Structure 1
Amino acid sequence: MPGNRDAMFRGRAGERELVDGVLDAGTGVVLVDGAAGTGKTRLLAEVAAGAARRGVEVVTARDELDQPFLLARLAERGPGGPALVVLDDLHLAEPATLAALRELLPASAHAKVVWLLARRGGEGADRLFAAAVQRGALRIELGPLPDDVVADLVTDLAGAVPDDDLRALASTARGVPAELAALFQALRADDHLVVAAGQASLRTDRTPRHTEALLRGRISALSGVARHLLQVAAVLGPRFDPGDVAEVLASSTAVLLPALDEVIAAGVVTSLDDRLAFRHELLWRLVADAVPPPVRCALHREVGEMLLRRGDSAVVAAEHLLHGAQRGAARSIDGLVAAAKALLWTAPDAAAELAGRALELTDQASPSLADRTVVAVRALVAAGDLTAAQACARDALTRQVAPAPAAELRHCLAATTLLRGQHAESVEISESLLGEPDLPPELVPWVEIIRMTALLGHDRDRAQELAEDVVRTRTGSPDDVRATALAVLAAIARDTGQPGAALELARAAARSAASHDLSAYPPLLLATVLSGLREFADADSVVRRVRGGASAVVARRITTTAVQARISLQAGRIEEAAAEARSAVAVAEETGHTALLAPGLAVLAMVAVHTGDLPAALGHVERCREHVPVDGLVFSRAYYQWIDVLVSYVGHGTGKALALLGDEYPGLVSSGLFAEEPRAAGWFVRRALEAGDERLAEAVVAHAERLTAENPGLRALATAALHARGLARGDASSLELAARQHQDPWARANAAEDLGALLAAGPDRAAPVRALETALELYREIGASRDSARVLGRLRKLGRRRRAEPARPESGWAGLDDTERAIVNLVAKGQTNRQISAQLFMSPHTVNFHLRKIFRKLGISSRVELAARPPGDR
């Protein structure tokens, strides 16, 4: 390993300069004080070597036993040339030696002799040093090295610039050179240092036994009171309030001050804002592990109960109670439950763990069992563990349960059945609850929300009737029940071809939403309506607001990810769409959210169609067919039907695709599909013309124009109608105008391709080639490889050959697109995936997807290598 392993002589330039001044004068006494390891001996050796190079005679004792003999020789020495007498470790010298020195120093005041005397400060030779100072001796006190010097020294010892973790570990040496050298010697013995891309870091895949032994020795050297204090502090955590330590020890901070000073001086603990902290996690772990498990458990319990008693955060208290609570300890268990409630929305996994532990510790005969079960089931629902939530609720309901908690448990069952797509059962449970006269008032709104949402997937006529009644009777301030009713009406308006009304209702629903719900349905429905009408900026903004909220409920996360996936797809960000959709499907499958599988599968099917992966498209649609009957909430059923028709066309041809319109989806063309996916209008006209079905083509055009007439001001609908009419009539000017006016890259590319295909029938070759090349560039920009290949085939028929490869290189810096370059720059600034996702308005999963592509293109394998690339390469 390169670098200075033995600790370069750094940071003592000022002291060297002072000693050199005395040497230049040719006579004098220099006294060096310093704690062990501060470099006294090294300073003396450097000064002696420098003096010898200048021709000065250097006289020194081999050790403290040689000191009296050296002094005897010096007493007999006659006048001579300049000399430097170096005596180290005078704190170990015998009294007679020190007395002889006191006699010799003034006697040699006029000789050409410089005395360089060193001792460990405060441990001896006090009279000698005091007398020398009185006679004008120069006194130098060696303290810890300053931070900038330590940084340079650590870089020398490590052979590279240390990362934050290694710097923190090095800080335990308190700037003492010998301790730094010993630390790095231990790290090398453990093979615990890693140097990559100019940065040094610590291994995480092995136990650093020599380093642990070194640090354990420093801890063992502390007094018993200091070690006791550290053990309590370690139970409190890596950072702790000294007042908390004092309270646990039934003492005061003032009484503990000497011990606190000792642990800080020893480099074990440091001051951090308004708290103290262990200098490194390794130190904290060593101290914590030294506490016997039963003692540690008891301390955790005492700390947790202390925090609860004091009224501190239940969440912080629960971290301790989780380790220390015992069966039947009511106060500790109540603390776990309180923390679970506090974390229910923001950290449901942690809430489920806390509530589950509380249940484990609760006696079956406890009157609190039912209420604690309710908290556990609610946490499991929020965390996405629907199977466990249902089992826990049903098991509890087999026992004698009071009416209020029984209603809570049944409400949770209604929620889980809704999320599993069992809409009829969810409606049945909800309506049974609402029919009970003693249903707790605070539960009524939640049950109404579940019932309306389940009815939307089960009985739309009843859902509409109920939602209209809610909107009519509930007015005023934000209200989640009213928001859900407006969202239900918006979904029905969307699906029945009333996009203007859908947009107005969805906006009102989003404004009315007031609190957390299982899926953030009202604002996300607004995002789907906006995206369908090609208002991508507004749609993205809505999703960002939902993602920026505090709730981490799993159902909400799946729905948000699926909605973002389709927005990205419709906006032409096909790779991001695929990454988001895969994430939504994976979580929905893992957690049993059956009702939320179809949206992600639909997006993946569409991506597979456009990237030419027919087997994947067929597989996704086949699975989607199983789950479509339980959706119609997030996306319309017409949207899923169109994707089924589209994949059938790709896999089996026009005849099979159009047959679905008569057999399975007779109302598809007259539905609200063209408002949710405007480019579908042109697609259906295209297929109708291929099949020679003029009646179908005219029906599509008529419906698209009716939507436009009934919803003036919705530009996406008007352009879709223009596109469909241009195709049906063979009107090049309409297609050219549509290609300019479409708001999404897919539809622009489709219109340009349709224009090129129409013009190719004429004698002029330049115009169709221009149109098709425009379509090709758009498809390539999107990443639609199958569509690109189709257009390349059209161009070849016109005698125009184009490269099939992307214009951008497949590897190297030039191969990165704009998004990838932005991610590289943020990684270089040290940002995490979550921070980058907030900056670039995408999920951390999507950031990780881009990073894998970046690594592949640049031929690297880690963020460290990426961050280490020179600025000129970014």
Structure 2
Amino acid sequence: MSRNNTYSPRNRMPSRHLASPVPPSLPTRPEARAAPPLLGRDRQWQLVQRLLDAARSAPRRGGVLLVEGLPGTGRSRLLNDAAALAARGGFSAAHAAADELRRAMPLAPLAAALGQGPGGGPQSTGAGPSAPQGGGPPGNAALIERLSARVDELLRSGPVAVVLDDLHWADAVTLAAVRALVTRFAAQPVVWLLARCTGEGGSTVERLFTVLRESEGAELLPLTPLAPRAVAELTAQRLGAEPAAELLAYVEGADGNPAALVALLDGLAEERRVQIVDGRARLARCPSGGLPPHGFGALVRRRMEPFHPTTRLLLDVAAVLGRASTPDDMARMLGETPAAVLPALREALASRMVVCEEDAIAFRHELVRHALLATIPGPLRGALHRQAADMILGRDGGVQRAAAHLVHGARRGDGQAVEVLRAAASAVAAAEPRAAAELALRALEISRPEDAARPRLFRVAVEALTRVGPLPRAVALAREALAGPLPADQATALRHGLSRALLLAGRAAETAPQDPPPADLPEEALVADLHGLAALDVSAAARRAREETERRAAASSGLLGVLATTHWCAGRVGEALRVARAAVARAEDEAPGPGTSPVPPRLLLASMLTQLRQTAEATATVELLAAEIEADGTPVLRGAPMILNACLALARGAPDAAATEATEGLAAAEETGMALLSSLGGRVLAEVALRRGDLAAADGHVERLAGRVAEQRAESDEARALTALCGWLAARLAAARGDLTALATALRTVHGDRRALRRLLVAEPAAAAWLVRAALDAGDRETAGATAGLAQGLASDNAEVPSLAAAAMHASGLYERDRWALRRAGEEHQDPWARASAAEDLGCLPGGDREAAVDALDRAMSGYARLGAERDEARVRRRLRRLGVRRRHWKHAHRPTSGWASLTATERRVADLVAQGMTNRQAAAQLFLSPHTVGFHLRQIFRKLGIQSRIELVRLHADAVEGPRGAA
């Protein structure tokens, strides 16, 4: 049906098709302006405004604007908004659109646009501007004259805007009338906005647009694809958050078409395939295998409806064949000659869905190809893939290309398909492990239990999955294969694959290394076994690693990595660094390939440097590690550099960046099942939460770390070390809450295993001093002295490691009340939080000079503030208040008068704590304020949020956390 809307100063009836109805409060003076109607169309909108301004200010001047755009580019929306703007500006705006159904009715679009009287009622019930008074219908010339008279009538009220859309559907008489009327009113304030779909309508409308440009000075206004900036802005608008780079790369498949982009984004949102992480929209893991949203696929299908059926079939076949395929292959699939499919090919190329690439036809965007595939019924899609595989094998025997189709189309029990898939998987295993895993898994799925290829398929799949993940799948496959009869060489390889997968999955204690190892055990299998043994028993692993090293003229990088690990766990930190650096150097000299160690030596070195706060070398090493993981094709380790960067960000005093990196690293590790550094990532998140005073979040992170302990064998060295770490974090959490019972329990856990405590003091520079302080506060000087002595022993054994020396001075200074030691510790600490802690301890020593104490506490407070350690900063501020010193700690900010955004930082912290169920006194203890001050803040919160009870606060707080405030 045609759209029929005539606007005038006395008749402002907005069309139901307008995307943005005109608010009644908008001014109607000619100077009024509306915001640009579409993102990325600022230039086009300015041209519309300029043309309307010229017609309004110069009484004898009009103009013509020719709008062209593909479907979905916003052509009709632009014209709708232009008509509304013209009406607001005092124009009589006549607006209609041609359509396919009324093409047989001459002049229908013009009659629909101009067929209403100035009062808003129709002049007639006929199709034209008025019904004839005499006999039969008037001729076309008479109808055009009546339309001309109608324009004259509208001009008596002021300037006129005639807006005609979809002229590619208009009949020849309408197009001729448009040309005649434009010429007739060229010297009048009549603005013509004429639009058509690019490439549609044939030669008649093409000739009209050409003549209007050449004879009437019409300006062409093409609606090109949105620029990247506009795409990003529209994406942020639809999803409610700034898009991450990978999301923007994904939506490039919409080709800058606004309607396609909106369909894609809304589909992603409806199918919950977008996550808001730290204020940025990111693609979530997709259970549908990465297929586009259903709505986007339906839109692509709708765009193909005008195509000839042969063209639609050609595009479906091309989608099955792959991103690029030759006309010969398309023709063979259709049972035709290339000449026979030429018309369909031309139409497909004209649609811009596909383009020529040398001798092939390629989809411009993989997203569009996947959308087409998703809309082909599954059985038919599988049959087309089988047909493609048969064609390839029958023509040139291209195993890998055929296998790519058999993955999707092979039937269960097809022995030839199994063998093709196995051969292809083996061929690409080294260079493309993800593809190898997909091919091998599909072959296993369709194979029979008695197929001879199954052992080799298990091996390829397990080896590939240990490089790309998910690791639990690799473990399950290896165990399934090893449960049945296997050739000896395949069984050995699968046992090695299982050990490697368990090690990377953080389940090294489940491996069972043979003692003594078989003489013919491959080096990489031996290294994996020794890493597993190190998780169980460090001393046994060190002994075995030394024996294997002595048997060789030169130890491999894998063996050196095991030795470095055992030195680290035993507290020989300097030696661990030396051997780890040697392992990295040896790895660089070894032959290229997957490597002899499941744990890259550079990963071990980066982890050690990071925990020792040797940030400069650690940062450079992590950068090299990330590049190495990318080059080696081992995405299973992709989360490791992120987690290490999180530790470095925390050491630099960037808690927000640390939390982001840790969250993303843990997500990447969870996706692949790689848990090597998961405890380190959890430590970072718990530390950030503790420093911010977010005890509920810290509690959650500690619980998750404790859950990791439960997954380990209780007697393993790895489990004992993780237990000590959880105990230390739990102790700090209990101390923050003032829970003395829980604190005592946690401290018993930490001090109950001296060997595990030693590993904790190596990895955490501030742990020794904190534990000494906690013991002294509890009146337990014996435990405090033992802890200080342990820290001193580590420093003596590793004189070349500055972080251990500083930690020992700090612990000793607390225990001995030694000002000089505390001052030196504050200067020598590599970790900025430990540095601030030493300054705080120095300022709290009794019996000292008040001015010196204030100076030390000022340094501590500044240090904590730079790190975002709000709770620690508040504690030091209270200490200063007790010394009679008050430091201004608030910043002026422009805030609204009500709602969450109106709360100050302190009020938000009070709201968070009260929403967790704390009393005023408990919240005051957390914030180092008086209960009276917390009560004052709580009254301000109630006033600003318009509530009267804590129950309402809890409910509003939950809503805010789930909404934008929590997403950020």
Provide TM-score, normalisation by structure 1.
Answer: 0.63
Q: Does 1:665 align with 2:748?
A: no
Instruction: Write out aligned runs for 1:445-456 (5 A).
Output: 445-456=523-534
1:761 counterpart (819, 822, 847): 847
Instruction: Write out aligned runs for 1:826-845 (5 A).
Output: none
Cross-structure match for 1:507: 581
Q: Does 1:484 align with 2:558?
A: yes
| Kept in 1: contact 2:709–2:722 (CA 8 A) | no
Instruction: Write out aligned runs for 1:708-727 (5 A).
Output: 708=795, 711-727=798-814
1: CA distance, partners of 2:567 / 2:256: 65
Residue 756 of structure 1 deviates from its aligned partner by 0.7
* Change in 2 beyond 3 A, CA 1:862/1:516: farther
Secondary structure of the residue aligned to 1:427 is coil
| Kept in 1: contact 2:292–2:370 (CA 8 A) | no
Secondary structure of the residue aligned to 1:260 is helix
* Change in 2 beyond 3 A, CA 1:249/1:750: same
What do the CA deviations read for 1:499-551 (whole angstroms, capped 9, x no partner)? Answer: 22111111122333463578535222212221232212322333343344236
Q: Does 1:730 align with 2:813?
A: no
Cross-structure match for 1:263: 348
Q: Does 1:537 align with 2:616?
A: yes
2: CA distance, partners of 1:494 / 1:661: 19
1: CA distance, partners of 2:202 / 2:564: 83
Cross-structure match for 2:838: 751
Instruction: Write out aligned runs for 1:150-299 (5 A).
Output: 219=304, 222-223=307-308, 225-237=310-322, 240-242=325-327, 244-246=329-331, 248-249=333-334, 256-265=341-350, 269-271=354-356, 276-277=361-362, 293-299=378-384
1: CA distance, partners of 2:430 / 2:595: 8
Provide TM-score, normalisation by structure 2.
Answer: 0.57
2: CA distance, partners of 1:634 / 1:456: 12
Which consecutive residues of structure 2, in runs of 5 or more, have no partner in the other structure? 1-18, 23-36, 49-59, 61-67, 76-96, 99-105, 115-128, 146-166, 174-199, 240-247, 263-269, 271-290, 589-593, 906-956
| Kept in 2: contact 1:519–1:559 (CA 8 A) | no
| Kept in 2: contact 1:11–1:149 (CA 8 A) | no
Residue 737 of structure 1 deviates from its aligned partner by 3.7
Residue 744 of structure 1 deviates from its aligned partner by 1.5
Instruction: Look up the equivalent residue of 1:490 and give its one-letter code.
Output: A
2: CA distance, partners of 1:667 / 1:368: 49
Cross-structure match for 1:495: 569
2: CA distance, partners of 1:648 / 1:10: 60
| Kept in 1: contact 2:702–2:726 (CA 8 A) | no
What do the CA deviations read for 1:615-648 (whole angstroms, capped 9, x no partner)? Answer: 5576456546544857756996696387268449
What do the CA deviations read for 1:840-859 (whole angstroms, capped 9, x no partner)? Answer: xxxxxxxxxxxxx9x98999
* Change in 2 beyond 3 A, CA 1:238/1:745: same
What do the CA deviations read for 1:655-703 (whole angstroms, capped 9, x no partner)? Answer: 66665576x224567x465443333343344345546666666665565
| Kept in 2: contact 1:497–1:675 (CA 8 A) | yes
Cross-structure match for 1:846: none
* Change in 2 beyond 3 A, CA 1:145/1:775: closer
* Change in 2 beyond 3 A, CA 1:668/1:595: closer
What do the CA deviations read for 1:744-797 (whole angstroms, capped 9, x no partner)? Answer: 211111111011112x533x4333122213212322333334433432332232
Residue 414 of structure 1 deviates from its aligned partner by 3.3
* Change in 2 beyond 3 A, CA 1:647/1:142: closer
Instruction: Look up the equivalent residue of 2:838 and give its one-letter code.
Output: A
Deviates more, 1:769-778 or 1:723-732: 723-732
1:679 counterpart (766, 769, 781): 766
2: CA distance, partners of 1:615 / 1:503: 33
Residue 649 of structure 1 deviates from its aligned partner by 7.3
Between Structure 1 and Structure 2, whose CA radius of gyration is higher? 1
2:867 counterpart (740, 761, 782): 782
* Change in 2 beyond 3 A, CA 1:587/1:362: same
Deviates more, 1:636-645 or 1:806-815: 806-815
2: CA distance, partners of 1:364 / 1:255: 46
Cross-structure match for 2:536: 458
* Change in 2 beyond 3 A, CA 1:719/1:271: same
1: CA distance, partners of 2:772 / 2:744: 14
| Kept in 1: contact 2:558–2:597 (CA 8 A) | no
| Kept in 2: contact 1:453–1:484 (CA 8 A) | no
Residue 323 of structure 1 deviates from its aligned partner by 1.9
Cross-structure match for 1:556: 637
1: CA distance, partners of 2:358 / 2:688: 51
Cross-structure match for 2:829: 742
Instruction: Look up the equivalent residue of 1:362 and give its one-letter code.
Output: S
| Kept in 2: contact 1:362–1:369 (CA 8 A) | yes
1: CA distance, partners of 2:439 / 2:829: 52
| Kept in 1: contact 2:225–2:255 (CA 8 A) | no
Instruction: Look up the equivalent residue of 2:448 and give its one-letter code.
Output: D
* Change in 2 beyond 3 A, CA 1:812/1:360: same
* Change in 2 beyond 3 A, CA 1:570/1:639: farther
Residue 454 of structure 1 deviates from its aligned partner by 1.4
What do the CA deviations read for 1:55-81 (whole angstroms, capped 9, x no partner)? Answer: xxxxx9x99x9779989x9xxxxxxxx
* Change in 2 beyond 3 A, CA 1:799/1:161: closer
Cross-structure match for 2:920: none
1: CA distance, partners of 2:662 / 2:777: 32
Which consecutive residues of structure 1, in runs of 5 or more, have no partner in the other structure? 13-23, 25-33, 50-59, 74-87, 94-119, 174-179, 185-191, 193-203, 817-852, 867-874
* Change in 2 beyond 3 A, CA 1:600/1:263: closer
Q: Does 1:524 align with 2:608?
A: no
Secondary structure of the residue aligned to 1:772 is helix
Residue 361 of structure 1 deviates from its aligned partner by 0.9
Cross-structure match for 1:302: 387
2: CA distance, partners of 1:766 / 1:579: 40
* Change in 2 beyond 3 A, CA 1:241/1:524: same
Cross-structure match for 1:355: 440
* Change in 2 beyond 3 A, CA 1:813/1:690: closer
* Change in 2 beyond 3 A, CA 1:637/1:507: farther
* Change in 2 beyond 3 A, CA 1:426/1:798: same
What do the CA deviations read for 1:798-818 (whole angstroms, capped 9, x no partner)? Answer: 1234577789899879999xx
2: CA distance, partners of 1:9 / 1:607: 48
Cross-structure match for 2:942: none
Instruction: Look up the equivalent residue of 1:532 and give its one-letter code.
Output: Q
Secondary structure of the residue aligned to 2:807 is helix
1:324 counterpart (395, 399, 409): 409
| Kept in 1: contact 2:437–2:461 (CA 8 A) | yes
* Change in 2 beyond 3 A, CA 1:282/1:712: closer
| Kept in 1: contact 2:709–2:723 (CA 8 A) | no
2:518 counterpart (428, 431, 435): 435
Cross-structure match for 1:792: 877
| Kept in 2: contact 1:299–1:324 (CA 8 A) | yes
2: CA distance, partners of 1:232 / 1:266: 16
2: CA distance, partners of 1:634 / 1:544: 30
Identity of aligned residues (%): 32
1: CA distance, partners of 2:315 / 2:519: 57
